[in-house]
Chain A
Amino acid sequence: MPKVLVVCYGNPLRGDDGVGWIVAEKLQQMSLPDFVAIQTHIQLTPELAADLSEADLVIFIDACDAEPVGVVSCKPIVPLPLSSSSFSHHLTPDLLLSHAQHLFGRAPKAFLISVNGSEFGYQDTVSPAVREAAGKVVEQVLRLLEEFASQSA
């Protein structure tokens, strides 16, 4: 059975950075197909590469510090070439895909859905525009799932 992994990440105690967790809650309340798994993380960590390598489609959901606030963007991502990156504690989705490719021999098709945010202080609520955007992210995820299902059929 094809597997889809939705990786929602960010720190829910840093304002808009927690939008991924709101999206995850919304998705978990829906009746999604069994082949869809949803994960939440405060930050991306190396062992996620193993999960990625076993998926057919991965959708990353994160906030970004950009204007205008509340705008949702969705872009396909591919593994970074090995020689072009340095490594720090901060892992990005394309770096994780590289891990999956080079350690486990397989990187899935992947998308990054970003929500522009502006409030990243110490708070456990997101700004109104970002909260509204969470609904749009869910719609985008559903579109990607539909496309995936029709291509896999």
Chain B
Amino acid sequence: MAQRIVIDPVTRIEGHAKITIQLDEDGNVADAWFHVTQLRGFEKLCEGRPFSEMPSLMARICGICPVSHLLASGKACDQLLAVRIPEPAIKLRRLLNLAQIVQSHALSFFHLSAPDLLLGMDSDPRKRNIFGLIETNPQIAKDGIRLRKIGQTIIELLAGKRIHPAWVVPGGVSEPLTVEKRDQILSMLPEAKEIALRTLQWFKRSLEDFRDEIRTFANFPSLFLGLVTPEGKWECYHGRVRVVDENGHIVADQLDPTEYQEYIGEATEPWTYLKFPYYKPMGYPDGMYRVGPLARLNIIDGFDTPLAEQEWVEFRELERGAILSSFYYHYARLIEILHAVEKMEELLNDPDILSKHVRAIAGLNNLEGIGVAEAPRGILIHHYKVNEDGLMEWANLIIATGHNNLAMSKGILQVAKHFINGKQLNEGMLNRVEAVIRAFDPCLSCSTHAVGRMPLHIQLIGPDGTLLDELRRD
């Protein structure tokens, strides 16, 4: 008799999701679905508002990655003004994005995934959490908090701590950086670098313990997509789109990100609110691609900072072509933290960063604008249309979690096939199904503030809808 296992909701990811695993007559995994059961209503909320409000409004989409939305929105509005923003403003915005990458990756690695990595996938679920981490590895837990704090403090120093932050504005940024703030930020970076290097060394030593997970965590051929510089280096703010295949070969390069509709399609399915973007030339679903840290490290020709470059060279030696296992998202995140810290140091030591010329002033000159940047979880697209009065008429946001939707579902199927035989449920194997999702670090919270606790709920359901088994972890 065919059965379904439902994991609802998935814990330790941002927002709410449900996993359904379909078993065949023999109790083997036949298929898997990743459902997003919350509706994002932001595009609708924007309609009728002045475009100038968009950056600060969009920053409130999410409590974890507000800066990503702030930047993509700011860039879309720059296009509405049809201005070329001053170079110091670009550097300041880039600095803000790098700080965001540090704090967001720190949350994902240290707080959401480290309990699995340090305490083991089969450890007692009551202890496989941040408190278990505090008890067994307080230094790692403290490092995570410290990195988060450093990233957040830099964001506050740059963007201010007002109730309605609006530092990133159409045309640039509202205020230049002061010497005092620059020095304050610079003083925090050596510690951040030390934490990044220390964690990388520990993580690389532990990889041997996760051979099974590396082999089975969304380890399959796919495309990888993201921004690169004109020279093919890592990029998080401007840049052009590059697509590589599973062999690491470039499929498309230097694509204009504002022409994304030419090469990215969005498919829908009736069982989820989250769309399925795909690479148009290969069709749906063959055009499945991955974005985010792993993708970025697969598409680039290298970093332009020495320590990250050294780590990247070692990382790419893991496989001949692209690195395919999504377990390595964690590894990629740590290298990106290191690069972000190095790059911030470089930017802050550039005298131009203190320039007072940080904003181009203009009125509405375009009725359509597209802003694209690399968010911590992958490429983020904001696309706006306004009327002659500058009021929003239409918005389309493609978030990183959407780009990864096809790959996440396929990853769940792969890990479920390996770890679930349908005969019994146990915490370790179910946690692996969840952990493969956490490797992508999906951010589903956009606009949601959870109320109350989020328990883990697993249901085993027969083909006639009968509940056969149930497991709940509060």
Please determine whether B148 and A87 come into contact, CB atoms closer than 8 angstroms: no
Residues in B1-48 with C-beta less than 8 Å from chain A = 11-15, 41-42, 44-45
Q: Does B64 contact A (CB under 8 A)?
A: yes
Please determine whether B447 and A13 come into contact, CB atoms closer than 8 angstroms: yes
Given contact pairs A40-B163, A86-B126, A103-B142, A46 touches B148 in the complex (Cβ within 8 A): yes
**CB-contact partner of B107 in A10, A45, A86, A102, under 8 A:** A45
A88 to B448, CA, bound (A): 15
Give the 9 A-B residue pairs with the shortest CB-CB distance, closest first.
Answer: A42-B63, A87-B129, A43-B63, A47-B148, A122-B41, A11-B449, A47-B149, A90-B450, A87-B130
A122 / chain B contacts, CB cutoff of 8 Å: 41-42, 44-45, 447
B441-463 interface mask toward A, CB cutoff 8 Å, 1 = contact, 0 = none?
00001011111111000000000
A87-105 interface mask toward B, CB cutoff 8 Å, 1 = contact, 0 = none?
1111010000011001100
A108 / chain B contacts, CB cutoff of 8 Å: none
Which A residues contact B (CB, under 8 angstroms)? Answer: 10-14, 17, 21, 24-25, 28, 39-43, 45-47, 49-50, 64-65, 82-83, 85-90, 92, 98-99, 102-103, 120-124
A42 / chain B contacts, CB cutoff of 8 Å: 60, 62-63, 66, 449
Please determine whether B454 and A90 come into contact, CB atoms closer than 8 angstroms: yes
Please determine whether A82 and B134 come into contact, CB atoms closer than 8 angstroms: yes
Please determine whether A89 and B66 come into contact, CB atoms closer than 8 angstroms: no
Please determine whether B134 and A103 come into contact, CB atoms closer than 8 angstroms: yes
A43 to B138, CA, bound (A): 24
B14 / chain A contacts, CB cutoff of 8 Å: 89
| A65 CB → nearest B CB, Å | 5
B254 / chain A contacts, CB cutoff of 8 Å: none
Given contact pairs A45-B148, A46-B148, A89-B13, A98 touches B163 in the complex (Cβ within 8 A): no
Please determine whether A102 and B454 come into contact, CB atoms closer than 8 angstroms: no
| B152 CB → nearest A CB, Å | 6
**CB-contact partner of B141 in A45, A103, A120, under 8 A:** A103
B64 / chain A contacts, CB cutoff of 8 Å: 43, 45, 89
Which B residues contact A (CB, under 8 angstroms)? Answer: 11-15, 41-42, 44-45, 57, 60-64, 66, 103, 107, 111-112, 115, 125-127, 129-131, 134-135, 138, 141-142, 144-146, 148-149, 152, 161, 163, 445, 447-454, 473-474
Please determine whether A89 and B450 come into contact, CB atoms closer than 8 angstroms: yes
A102 to B146, CA, bound (A): 14
| A126 CB → nearest B CB, Å | 13
Please determine whether A86 and B129 come into contact, CB atoms closer than 8 angstroms: yes
Q: Which of B62, B134, B144, B146 has the most CB of A within 10 A?
A: B134
A83 to B64, CA, bound (A): 26
A85 / chain B contacts, CB cutoff of 8 Å: 129, 131
19 cross-chain CB contacts under 8 A: A11-B447, A13-B45, A13-B60, A41-B63, A42-B63, A45-B148, A45-B152, A47-B145, A47-B149, A47-B152, A49-B145, A86-B473, A88-B11, A89-B12, A89-B14, A89-B112, A103-B134, A103-B142, A122-B447
